[in-house]
Amino acid sequence: MRLLTHNMLSSNIKGVTNGFPLRIEAVKVEEKTVEMNTDFLKNMFVKIDWKVLVEASRTLGYAELPEEGDSSFLESDEFLSRFHHALLELHLEEGALICPETGRRFPVTKGIPNMLLHEDEV
C-alpha cells in the first residue's frame, strides 16, 4: 500500500465521523522505484493532505519532506522527487491501519489493506 492510498482512505465504520487519517502501524516497509509523472504530482498536490503525508512517511522511516507544503515548491525538482518518493515509492507491506476514533485495526497483508467491516459495523 502506497501513501497515496493511505491519504485517500478513511475509516468506514458506521457512526464514525472523524475517520481520517488512519494511524499506521508499520511492521514491514518496502521501497519500489516507479517512473515519475510530474503532471500527476502537481495535480495531486492540492488534493493531498500534506501533514498526513509527512506524518505517514515518517512512520515508514522517511523524514525528508518539509513540514509545510507549499505549491511554490512544485517548481523544485528536488521537492518533486521527494514528494514522488513519499507518495508512490514507499509501501506498507505488513502492518495495520487504525481507526482514529474507535481504535479498530484494519490489517495490511502483502501490501493490501482489508477494509471489510463486521456486520455490526456497517
Q: Decide if 3 contacts 53 (C-beta within 8 A).
A: yes
Phi first, then psi, for residue 17 (nearest 5°) are -100, -30
The x, y and z cell numbers of residue 108, run together, are: 495490511
Contact region for another protein (CB under 8 A) — 12-20, 55-63, 68-76, 77-85? 12-20
Site string for another protein, 14-53 (x = CB under 8 A): -----xx-----------x-xx-x-xx--xx--x-x----
**What span, in angstroms and rounded, lies between the C-alpha atoms of 50 and 33?**
21
CB of 55 to another protein, least distance (A): 15
**What span, in angstroms and rounded, lies between the C-alpha atoms of 23 and 21?**
6
Q: Which residues bind another protein (CB under 8 A)?
A: 1-2, 4-5, 7-12, 19-20, 32, 34-35, 37, 39-40, 43-44, 47, 49, 88, 110-117
